[in-house]
Amino acid sequence: MVVEIENERGRVRRTLGLVGWLLLAGAFPAFGQPSADQIEVAGVAYSVEVERHNGYEAIAWSRVPESVVSSSFQRDGSATGQVAGTSLELRSGSPFGRYGDSVFQLSNPPYRLQGEVWVPLELLVEWLPRVQPKSAAVAPAAATPEVAQPIPAAATVDERPTPGSRRPGPWRVVIDAGHGGVDPGTMSPRTGVREKDITLSVARKLAAELERRGGIEPLLTRDRDVFVEVMERPSLAVEWEADLFLSIHVDAQPGGRSSARGFTTYHLGQARTEDALAVARRENAVIELEEGAKPPNLQQLEIILATVDRDAYRRESRLLAGHIQNGLRGAMDTQDRGARQGPYYVLMTPGLLPAVLVELGYITNRADEAQLKDPERQDRIARALADTIENFLEDTGRRIAATEGRG
């Protein structure tokens, strides 16, 4: 039996046997259960076996069709091959891949299991179609000569924004502690702990950690319990000629519920789920506290975002969001809810710099709250964020150097 399932990748046709129907009905959890997915790459349909081990769908590298990735090989946790005549390289545990001379990022990293390298299904259904236009569908190697396809704009060094290239000196990072002053943010229904206090504490610790390491100049939108207007925060990042903007927040589940937990990183874009839209509405509501403020219409903002969905600045922000999610996995003992997009006012930086908002956890969840208010855990979060920011800016520096070398 074939059913169509709608997800963030679009419509996927999935073949379900008896076990599949039981899974669909919720009889028992889907974990490591193979299924036959009908996917389309560059206009050609393929049937592949997909499994789910680490919370996301993946395919063994040895099962990737030869007509999609030719000359595939794996060794010591790395997976290599050829796509459209250009070399492709992935490594277990790292969300970053190399395609020719360019670096790209997946939302989740490849991993090793039972002697195999497994790659996220995202590689086939999202990344590969950008490399291979439909008119250049891959045929078996013997049928047509290999022709190198152009690298997509999302992975091209020359077309990527280059944060930090506008001025000399150290990298400049703006750290935005969410809420503050008359705006407490979310509050714990059990202890009364306020979001604004947690975000300020983490922001201060992150600034101190970056200052200690050197090479990065941290700037805080607030360093004490004061109210800062929501639209002023991204404007400060532009005024200070920042290279990166990070807004720190804590999430909450409405209606007195406490089951939701985990950390999420958002970049500016159209909300793809009702949950993401609800979080954006909640964070944007702070503008109502501003005297004489006229909040932008959220529906109008969604329409505007749809027209600029592929600009370079947004791609860079999405890349940063993935960096942060991967970095926080080792710092938080809770659910990884993934990198998402949403229409956040605070991320509307009028300049070309990557900007993201991170929700560190749910203050309405007892286990998450215990971590969020623990000073030692906050230190771990600050170190993880500092590592992430350093790695991201180092990668940015390499892209800038490559661009200047080509010039």
- Can you tell me the distance from the alpha carbon of 222 to that of 225, in angstroms, rounded to the nearest whole number? 7
Range in 8-12, 260-264, 266-270 the model is least confident about: 8-12
The b-or-e profile of 71-83 (16+ CB within 10 A means b, else e) is: ebebeeebbbbbb
List all residues 6 or more positions away from 279 whose beta carbon is below 8 Å from its beta carbon.
251, 264, 266, 342, 359
Which whole number is the average pLDDT over 378-385? 98
Contact 348, 284 (CB under 8 A): no
Q: Give 133 or 261, the one with higher predicted confidence.
A: 261
* Residue extent(s) of CATH 3.40.630.40 domains in the chain: 171-406
The two tokens of residue 209 are: 């950690």
pLDDT surpassing 70 at residue 194:
yes
DSSP secondary structure of 331-344? T-SS-EEEEEEE--
**According to the model, what pLDDT value does residue 31 have?**
36
**According to the model, what pLDDT value does residue 282 have?**
58
Q: What is the mean pLDDT of the chain?
A: 75
**According to the model, what pLDDT value does residue 272 have?**
58
pTM over 0.75: no
Contacts 24+ apart (CB under 8 A), 220-223: 220/174, 220/175, 220/176, 220/177, 221/174, 221/175, 221/176, 221/177, 222/176, 222/177, 222/180
Question: Is 135 buried (19+), middle (13-18) or exposed (0-12) by CB count in 10 A?
Answer: exposed
Of 396, 34, 390, 362, the C-alpha closest to 212 is 390
Q: pLDDT-derived band of residue 16, with 50, 70 and 90 as boundaries?
A: very low
pLDDT surpassing 50 at residue 126:
yes
Residues 47-93 have pLDDT tens digits of 778 888 777 888 899 888 888 888 888 887 788 998 888 889 888 77
Radius of gyration, alpha carbons of the chain: 22
**According to the model, what pLDDT value does residue 402 have?**
76
Residues 311-361 have pLDDT tens digits of 556 788 889 999 999 999 999 999 999 999 887 878 877 556 899 999 999
Q: Give 41 or 374, the one with higher predicted confidence.
A: 374
Residues 325-334 have pLDDT tens digits of 999 999 999 9
Q: Give 381 or 143, the one with higher predicted confidence.
A: 381
Contact 23, 14 (CB under 8 A): no
Q: Give 93 or 368, the one with higher predicted confidence.
A: 368
Looking at residue 297, the DSSP 8-state letter turns out to be P
pLDDT surpassing 80 at residue 362:
yes
**According to the model, what pLDDT value does residue 164 have?**
40
Question: Is 407 buried (19+), middle (13-18) or exposed (0-12) by CB count in 10 A?
Answer: exposed
- Can you tell me the distance from the alpha carbon of 57 to that of 48, in angstroms, rounded to the nearest whole number? 12
pLDDT surpassing 80 at residue 363:
yes
**According to the model, what pLDDT value does residue 17 have?**
36
- Can you tell me the distance from the alpha carbon of 314 to that of 135, in angstroms, rounded to the nearest whole number? 27
Cα–chain center distance at 289: 30
pLDDT surpassing 50 at residue 303:
no
- Starting at the edge strand found earlier in the chain, the sheet holding 116-120 runs 2-7, 10-15, 35-41, 44-52, 57-60, 116-120, 111-113
pLDDT surpassing 60 at residue 269:
yes
Q: Give 149 or 128, the one with higher predicted confidence.
A: 128
**According to the model, what pLDDT value does residue 351 have?**
56
pLDDT surpassing 90 at residue 407:
no
pLDDT surpassing 70 at residue 145:
no
* Residue 51: strand, helix, or coil: strand
Q: pLDDT-derived band of residue 296, with 50, 70 and 90 as boundaries?
A: low
Which whole number is the average pLDDT over 398-405? 73
DSSP secondary structure of 99-150? ETTEEEE-SS--EEETTEEEEETHIIIIIHHHHS-GGG----TTTS---PPP
**According to the model, what pLDDT value does residue 53 have?**
78
Which whole number is the average pLDDT over 281-289? 56
**According to the model, what pLDDT value does residue 217 have?**
95
List all residues 6 or more positions away from 26 whose beta carbon is below 8 Å from its beta carbon.
none
Q: Give 298 or 273, the one with higher predicted confidence.
A: 273
Contact 156, 99 (CB under 8 A): no
The CA-atom distances, in angstroms, between 19 and each of 34, 47, 58, 404 are 10, 18, 19, 55
How many CA atoms within 13 Å lie on the side-chain side of 383?
9
**According to the model, what pLDDT value does residue 161 have?**
39
**According to the model, what pLDDT value does residue 273 have?**
63
Residue type, 97: G
| CATH 3.40.630.40 fits domain 171-406 | yes
Task: Give ∠ CA 142-144-147 in degrees, rounded to 5.
Answer: 120
Q: pLDDT-derived band of residue 310, with 50, 70 and 90 as boundaries?
A: very low
pLDDT surpassing 90 at residue 4:
no
**According to the model, what pLDDT value does residue 36 have?**
55
Write down the residue that tokens 């996301």 correspond to: 56
Residue 272 sits at φ, ψ, to 5 deg, of -100, -10
Q: Give 30 or 174, the one with higher predicted confidence.
A: 174
Residue type, 107: S
Q: Which of 153-162, 207-216, 233-242 has the highest mean pLDDT?
A: 207-216
pLDDT surpassing 60 at residue 14:
no
